[in-house]
Structure formats: C-alpha cells, structure tokens
Amino acid sequence: MPSSEPVARLLTPELIDPNLRSRAANRAGFEEEYPFASHWFEADGHVQHYIDEGQGPVLLMVHGNPTWSFAWRRLVADLSRDHRVIAIDHLGCGFSEKPQDRSVYTLDGHIQRLAALVKLLNLQNVTLFGHDWGGAIGMGCAGRLSERFERFVLMNTGAFLSQAIPFRIALCRIPVLGMLGDRGLNLFARAALNMAVEKPLTPAARAGFIAPYDSWANRVAVHEFVQDIPLSPTHRSYATLTEVDGSLSKFSRHPIQLIWGMKDWCFTPKDFLTEFRRRFPQAQTLELPNAGHYVFEDAASEVIQQARTFLNAR
C-alpha cells in the first residue's frame, strides 16, 4: 500500500544547497549533450532535480537504473519543439540529492515523489515515457493519478511481477560483494556503458551517463535499485509492485506505444515485451532488431520518429 503522501514544494535556485547547484552546473565533457536548465523540488525534505523544456502537450519522461534524465536528452531536444517535456532525476540519481538512508530508495518512495512533482506542476493529459525501472515507477504514478494520464510510451521496461532476473544483475545483489562492486568499484554503472548498448557510446555520452556516480556516497541509489527488485512476497517492494501490476488494467483502452531494443539481455523481449503485449493487445509495437537495452542510444532517430508518429495520431 502507498505510504503517506509526502510534503512537497517547488524550489527556486536560491533555496538549493550550493553544492547541489554546483554539481548541476558542472557538465564538463557533456555540456553540448545536456544544455537544459535545472529545476528543483522538495519532497519530505529531500531535493530532486528535473528539467522542463518547451511548451504544449505534456510528456513526462521517467528513467531507470543506472541512468538519469540525461538518457532522454535526444528526445527532449527534439520533442520539446512542440511539447512540454519534463524529465525527472530520481532521488539519488543525476543532479538530485543522494541521502545515505537506504529506506528512502523503495519503489513506493520513487512513485510517491514522482506523483508529488506531477501534482506540484498540475500536469494534465500526460503522455508517460518510461524506461527500465522508470516503467514501474511511472506506471505506479499513473495508477495512483489515473485521471492525469492519457498515453504511454514504454521502452525496454517492466511494470509487473516477474521472476526474470539476469545472472549478472543477480550477482550485484550478493551481500557485501554486491555493495563493494556497485558502490566501491562502480561496476554496475560502468558495465552499463558497454553492456546496455550495441553501438559504442561517444565520449560525451559516456561522460554524461557516469558523471553523477563518482563516489561511494553518490552511488547509493545505483546499488539500492538493484536491491529493490522484488522477487518474493517478503521483499520490501513486493506489495508496491503488486499494486502497480494490478493498476495496469486501468489503461487497457488507452493509446500505448511499445518500443523495444530486441537485443536487450535485461528486460528481454521474451519475458517483458511479450507480457506487455498480452496485457495491452491493442498497443502499437516497434521492434528494433539491432538495439540493446539503451534503445534511445542505439536507435535514437527511429525512437524519435516513432514517438512523433504516435504523438501525432489523434
């Protein structure tokens, strides 16, 4: 069940800790890739970063692990020409605060904070874009605020109970060893730079993806996202994912676009795309045979073109 609604407010730059502002301003190596102005809000005392570009129908972009709003940069740059595009950095990710209390890094917590931003900005008729765990977080938010959501674009993601977990992800959940790898050696975020793509990332893209995760303390969310995969009813987020799973039926008549990198070893087509198609048989699907998990990197132009086609269909 959802926890109590967080106390939330939008923040002006002068209210932001100077260290946070400084980190958001320091974009060395990826300045041209991510030229967007920073915005901030606070939920239950924790400050989160987001970008808010363009005007028009609202697109809300929700990332997963170990990425941040940087992952959406090409879609933001293109679609903000005629849409209002908002992309959040989850707590512990990107330019948001990175508190060390692991209890805040739950699926319910991420959903609550995303919902707080949706309400603070009074977003209506939202098209949700979700990738990786951003699908579960975004669909969880939509399930709780269903009157505000209209359409969905889901990419290499999941939003339902599943036992499918790749061996290399399971390794990162091993007590002590997983923490040393994720937080000490930054193995999870660094490995994604190669394993999540089929085409080599540019130096600027590599710099941008890894920039927020430059210390043990700053990798807390990367580790906790891996720990927060609920595989049994006793897990702290099992009940929340059960709720998200059950809420999907609310959107059985809504327009849905599935975009899938078919070489994804994490959110595999067999386990995840197939299940989404079963849940939403009316959904449109774009299969990208040569793209991996970071589908927005391997096939950016195709993703943008299909997103525009979907958004223009009324």
**First-to-last C-alpha distance (Å) of the chain:** 35
Residue 117's Cβ-side half-sphere holds a number of Cα atoms within 13 Å equal to 31
Amino acid identity for residue 127 in this structure: T
pLDDT value at position 308? Answer: 98
1 in any annotated domain: no
3 in any annotated domain: no
Q: How far apart are CA 3 and CA 107, in angstroms?
A: 11
Relative to beta strand 256-261, strand 284-288 is parallel
- Number of H helices and E strands in the chain, helices first, is 13, 9
The pTM assigned to this predicted structure is: 0.97
Angle subtended at Cα 168 by Cα 162 and Cα 171, rounded to the nearest 5 degrees:
95
Q: Give the residue among 201, 176, 232 at the shortest CA–CA distance from 300.
A: 201
pLDDT value at position 177? Answer: 83
Q: Give the residue among 85, 39, 89, 81 at the shortest CA–CA distance from 59.
A: 85
pLDDT value at position 3? Answer: 62
DSSP 8-class letter at 92? T
pLDDT in tens, 269-311: 999 999 999 999 999 999 999 999 999 999 999 999 999 999 9
Exposed, middle or buried by CB within 10 Å (0-12, 13-18, 19+), for 189?
buried
Helices 133-144 and 238-247, axial angle in degrees (round to 10): 70
**Cβ atoms within 10 Å, residue 194:** 11
Tally of structural domains, the chain: 1
2 in any annotated domain: no
* Structure-token pair, residue 249: 């039926």
pLDDT value at position 171? Answer: 79
The CATH number covering residue 91 comes to 3.40.50.1820
Instruction: Spell out, as residue ranges, where the chain has pLDDT lower than 70.
Output: 1-3, 314
- Residue given tokens 């992309």 in the structure block: 87
299 in any annotated domain: yes
**Cβ atoms within 10 Å, residue 239:** 14
> CA 158 from chain center: how many Å?
11
pLDDT value at position 2? Answer: 61
Q: Give the residue among 111, 123, 110, 185 at the shortest CA–CA distance from 150.
A: 123
Angle subtended at Cα 164 by Cα 288 and Cα 205, rounded to the nearest 5 degrees:
45
What's the longest Cα–Cα distance across the chain? 51
pLDDT in tens, 95-134: 999 999 999 999 999 999 999 999 999 999 999 999 999 9
pLDDT value at position 173? Answer: 82
Q: Give the residue among 161, 165, 144, 166 at the shortest CA–CA distance from 279.
A: 161
Q: Which domain holds residue 166?
A: 8-312
